[in-house]
Amino acid sequence: MDDVDRIIHEPARLMIAALLSGAKEADFLFLLRETGLTKGNLSSHLVKLEDAAYVEIEKTFRGKVPLTLVRLTPKGRSALQSYRKRMNGLLRGL
Amino acid sequence: MPDIDGITRRPAEYLAETGVPLLAGGLVWLLLGCSILVQRILPNTFAIQEAPKWAAICCCVAVLWLAKVIKQRAVFPRGGYVEPRPHRRSQFFLWFMFFAAVSWGLLAVPGYLSVIESRFLWPAFAIAAGVISLVSGWRQKAPGMMWFGIYVLCLAPLLWWLPVDNYERWAWSQIGVGIPIAIGGAIRFRRFLKANPLPLESPHG
């Protein structure tokens, strides 16, 4: 279990990464709605994923409304795939 | 372990849940079908026959543009913005089913031109589309899609029975498919608007 990626392993971050893997990009509101997390909680998880270079965050505006766009990086995508393979292997071994 | 495949499908499902793609798609089918029927009641000169066709194409472009505006103004501020990645496996499955149905139609009977003129052509397409909808609905556990498949299967004998030529039968099949899709889309869109009021403050962190 030691080689399991702890950043992805946390349920909320796993959900964020899985949601972003099905999208080219998504905004903060979509992630908030789909994960059911609070704003602060989602922000802190996104910061952790960004620090690990698993997601990139772009703060922009649509008209006068602020817009936070989030994308999964290639590193994040491969981390998610590796995590899935590792977990499937572990669960199969039980 | 959570259902990661299910979560990965959510961006595409979310857009379908808003009803806007269905509404736009249904209206496009309806407009194209109606343009053929309008052609039939107009005098048979080149310019007059071309007019409804190009009017329908312009209307379809307008509908697609309107759908984009509705998504930006009414959907994304309520439920969030997402651009889904295309799901390669399901796209491949749909295209495979489509080409299999067409190839079967062309190859099964010698002299395929007679098939194109046959009154079985559009009912055969309706049956293929109905089966694709049923299988896709069953795979995605979507009862709405399965009901649509059953409806299209019921439409097939009606198309066969219609006392018109194949061009008009094509128009009726477009209208017959477009109307329920557009109604389904409108119902979903209304439901989405009711369930997702505009947030009072900016939700962006």
**pLDDT, position B5:** 85
- CA distance to A77, B9, B38, B169, B170, per residue, from B165 (Å): 53, 42, 15, 6, 9
**Option in A27, A46, A87 nearest B81 (CB):** A27
How far apart CA B172 and CA B86 sit, in angstroms, is 31
Asked if the Cβ–Cβ distance from A22 to B202 is below 8 Å, we say no
**Residues B23 and B67: beta-carbon distance below 8 Å:** yes
- What residue in A sits closest to B88 (Cα-Cα)? A22
Q: Which residues are CB-contacts of B171 (< 8 A; sequence separation ≥ 6)?
A: B32, B33, B34, B35, B36, B37, B40
> In this complex, do A67 and B204 lie within 8 Å of one another by their Cβ atoms?
yes
Q: Helix H segments across chain B?
A: 4-18, 20-41, 46-70, 76-79, 88-108, 112-117, 121-139, 143-161, 166-195
Question: Per DSSP, which regions of chain B are E strands?
Answer: 82-84
Q: Does B107 touch chain A (CB under 8 A)?
A: no
Q: Do B7 and A18 touch (CB under 8 A)?
A: yes
Predicted pLDDT at A24 = 93
Q: Which residue has the higher pLDDT, B75 or B205?
A: B75
Q: Do B204 and A11 touch (CB under 8 A)?
A: no
Residue B65 confidence (pLDDT) above 90: yes
Quick one: CA torsion of B114, B115, B120, B125, rounded to 10 degrees? -160
Q: Number of CB pairs < 8 Å for A and B?
A: 90
Which band of pLDDT confidence, cut at 50, 70 and 90, is reported for residue A36? very high
The pLDDT score that the predictor gives to residue B114 is 59
Confidence class of residue B204 from pLDDT cuts 50, 70 and 90?
A: low
- Shortest Cα distance, chain A CAs vs residue B31, angstroms: 31
Q: Do A19 and B81 touch (CB under 8 A)?
A: no
User: Model's pTM, two decimal places?
Assistant: 0.79
Cβ burial of B116 (10 Å; 0-12, 13-18, 19+) is exposed
| B12 interface with A at CB cutoff 8 Å | yes
Residue pLDDT, tens place only, B161-173: 988 888 888 899 9
Could you tell me which of A75, A65, A89 has the C-alpha nearest to residue A20?
A75
